[in-house]
Amino acid sequence: MNKHFFILVLTVLATLNGVAQEKKAVSVNDIWGNYQFYTQGVSGLRSMADGEHFTTKKNAAGQTLVLKHSYKTGKVVDTIFSTSQLEDNVSFDNYAVSSDERFIILFSETEGIYRYSSKSIVRAVDLNTNNSYLISKNKIQLPVVSPDAKYVSYVYKNNLYLYNLENKSVKALTDDGEHNKIIYGATDWVYEEEFQFDRAYEWSPDGKYLAYYRFDETDVPEFSMDVYGDGLYPTQDRFKYPKAGEVNAEVSIFTYNPESNTHKPITIENQPEYIGRIKWRSKDDLALFSLNRHQNELIIFNHNVKTNKTEQWYKETDEAFVEMDDNQFFLSNGEFIRLSGKDGYYHLYHINNRGNEKQITSGTWDITELYGYNPSSKRLYFQAAKDNPTERGIYSIKLNGRSLKTLHNERGWNSAEFSEQCKYFINNHSTTARVNRHDLYDENGNHIRNLQDNKPVQDRIDNRFKLSTTEFFTFTTEESVDLNGYMIKPLDFDESKKYPVLMFVYGGPGSQTVKNSFDGFNHFWYQHLASKGYIIVSVDNRGTGARGRDFKKVTYQQLGHYELIDQMETARWLGKQSYVDPYRIGIWGWSYGGYMSSLAITRAADLFSTAIAVAPVTTWRYYNTIYTERYMRTPQENPGGYDDNSPVNYAKKLKGKYLLIHGTADDNVHVQNAMQMINALIDQNVPFEQFMYPDRNHGIYGGNTRLHLYNMMTKFIEENL
């Protein structure tokens, strides 16, 4: 064989195999067209009650399976369910398992409604008998098998129903539910979005009682959105949306006893504005978590279903606000574990049955998520920013506050999913340069095995693409505030040259953008821009998370004020760097970040030459009650706080290039915000650019939408920054 031909063949083969493949810069199509950086998790994982096993969902040979695995060995020990067990072999999108693990609930043809809510065709399968039950021919919401395995409760058209598993009959528990008026068993829009739950009912542990919400939205103002579709005439989506200062739905809680078929209202004297959670403390005691309208007074009431008495059990107040979240749970004896920032940092507290509390953890660091409790070892498990606000570790501590233990603190970002009783956990670890890796550990942090390493994605990143390093930094502002940031420089960076800078901002309360974690989308768009000669910078301003109560709550009643000061300080600091062109500093953001970028290009027009705002709030008067009033109180009480930092009021100050983007079907930040900003700019005869995405919601996605969006933003940056 000819020597040169032999070498050519080897070269071609090596190239085809990726061995000698030349690295290239990231393209927008790599990110949003071919999804080259998309990573996998562990599909459909559910922990089982014994804490020793878990289930997963798998498609195989034309069937969909639910498999039972051993945590300890990782091996499949049983096939719990296969669609071949059904007469029609119907496929399903998702599944749930009943509390006694006798039934599996199958969700098919699922349609999303808002952020968490959806409706589906629902089947229940009795794993003991293999009997299958089609709960309804209609798409329903929020099905749950009662703990006594007698019923499947669900919501349909704003009413609460019981499907009887013994005789297959259906009973309506309520009958006056009505769209945009009365809701039973599900939340209204603002509760779902801001209190982050959609199922508004809970069975007692023994299945004897069902506690449920009733929302009366009658007096809540209505918002409407045009839906263009592809028909001859557009339609309208109308829903209740309480904007800041407006009327909220009237919320009441009831208990229902299936045996006696009786409903009883729970009466709270001087009931607070919000009931953000209901949780059963025991089979007879229901806890109601309430907040006043200012959200600075949390009161937990205890309602006893036997005596029908409701009493205040616990109270926490704050000069600013108290969060309503799920970083809290009851122990089996009715005592309570809660995460609170009352000592200046976010730590764990133990509240006994008399309502007396004891602090468990302490220190100048924040716990960021509470995972659970192991009753055998009496240890609590949590995530914390213990060593660095830009990273996370996994820890445990004794209930008595002793023996703090590090379970996993590999540099970067660690988040855990614990088994029942916290015997095992699956850790998701990543850094800006390392993709998500899912590993199984025991309760003491001992590594058992890898579940998903996403090696093909990591190999693709390492072998095919030219990438810049993400550099983390801290600088001190003129107000002596230390701010954390990251920077991505061009690959051929030359400190003697001056580069344009694009800043990325979110900046909202408790958020973070400066994280040593993997991001398969925006990070690689920044790599694309860096390959074109841009420096990318993001800085977490005051008001963001993992740095204690005061750093987070300093923005109270004046959203945008300190945040903008810190982003301006960042721009000034960057402008002093020898390698930055101070006249070519741009900024972009989405949602709260779009609000911030709009504020920057107007109120700080001398510092920012270019801005992109995606789905921005342009005046806080247009945003919802729960979120806005938590941080601002009402516009009637605090008009200056609302208007002094709303971009719509500073249109005349805009001097640079501004691109405004919004989805017309955004149910969260309404396109009304964009329209008012547009009108303000027109009134001032200020040039700008805009783009509307028809029928897209707050996420602006679907089909080629993200590919189009990021190509458009790239072009705008290239032409204007």
Q: Is the pLDDT of residue 19 over 80?
A: no
What's the rounded Cα separation, in Å, for the pair 471 and 177? Answer: 55
59's CB contacts (< 8 A; 6+ apart) are 65
Query: Per-residue pLDDT tens for 664-674?
Result: 999 999 999 99
pLDDT of residue 20: 52
Angle at which helix 705-720 crosses helix 522-531, to 10 degrees, equals 40
HSE, side-chain direction, 13 A CA sphere, residue 114:
20
Beta bridge partners of 380: 373, 397
pLDDT of residue 672: 98
Q: Is the pLDDT of residue 112 over 80?
A: yes
Helical residues (DSSP H) of 494-624, grouped into ranges = 522-531, 549-553, 561-575, 592-603
The beta-strand segments (E) located in 386-452 are 393-398, 405-408, 413-418, 424-430, 437-442, 447-452
Q: Is the pLDDT of residue 650 over 80?
A: yes
Average pLDDT over residues 93-103: 93
Q: Is the pLDDT of residue 14 over 50?
A: no
Q: Is the pLDDT of residue 662 over 50?
A: yes
pLDDT of residue 563: 98
Angle at which helix 592-603 crosses helix 561-575, to 10 degrees, equals 60
Q: Is the pLDDT of residue 18 over 50?
A: no
State what percent of residues in the chain have pLDDT above 70.
97
State what percent of residues in the chain have pLDDT above 90.
92
Beta bridge partners of 70: 53
Query: Per-residue pLDDT tens for 564-618?
Result: 999 999 999 999 999 999 999 999 999 999 999 999 999 999 999 999 999 999 9
What's the rounded Cα separation, in Å, for the pair 469 and 471? Answer: 6
Q: Is the pLDDT of residue 1 over 50?
A: no
Question: How is domain 92-265 classified at the CATH fold level?
Answer: Methanol Dehydrogenase; Chain A (2.140.10)
Residue type, 361: T
To the question of domain 327-453 being in CATH 3.40.47.10, the answer is: no
Residue type, 271: Q
Instruction: Decide: 546 and 509 in contact? Cβ < 8 Å.
Output: no
Q: Is 335 exposed, middle or buried (0-12, 13-18, 19+ CB in 10 A)?
A: middle
Long-range CB pairs of 424-432, under 8 A, 24+ apart, other chains included: 424/51, 424/71, 424/72, 424/448, 425/371, 425/381, 425/394, 426/42, 426/45, 426/451, 427/394, 428/41, 430/517, 430/518, 431/516, 431/517, 431/518, 432/470, 432/486, 432/516, 432/517, 432/518, 432/519, 432/523
Helix (H) or strand (E) segment spanning residue 682: helix 672-683
Neighbours of 519 (CB within 10 A): 15
Query: Per-residue pLDDT tens for 397-422?
Result: 999 999 999 999 999 999 999 999 99
To the question of domain 457-720 being in CATH 3.20.20.20, the answer is: no
Average pLDDT over residues 108-130: 94
Query: Could you give the C-alpha distances from 414 to 292, 384, 395, in angstroms and in order?
Result: 35, 9, 11
Average pLDDT, the chain: 94
Nearest to 709 by CA among 697, 691, 686: 691
Q: Is the pLDDT of residue 210 over 50?
A: yes
> Of 8-17, 218-227, 432-441, where does mean pLDDT reach its minimum?
8-17
Average pLDDT over residues 433-444: 96
Q: Is the pLDDT of residue 4 over 70?
A: no
pLDDT of residue 64: 86
- pLDDT category at 147 given cuts 50, 70, 90 is very high
What's the rounded Cα separation, in Å, for the pair 310 and 313? Answer: 9
Q: Which residues of 108-121 are buried (b: 16+ CB within 10 A; e: fewer)?
A: eeeeeebbebbbbb
Q: Is the pLDDT of residue 96 over 60?
A: yes
What's the rounded Cα separation, in Å, for the pair 415 and 488? Answer: 25
Helix (H, G, I), strand (E, B) or coil at 33: coil
Tokens, residue 124: 């229940």
Average pLDDT over residues 272-296: 97
What's the rounded Cα separation, in Å, for the pair 336 and 493? Answer: 54
Q: Which residues of 183-200 are buried (b: 16+ CB within 10 A; e: fewer)?
A: bbbbbbbbbbbbbebbbb
List the domain boundaries for the chain.
92-265, 327-453, 457-720
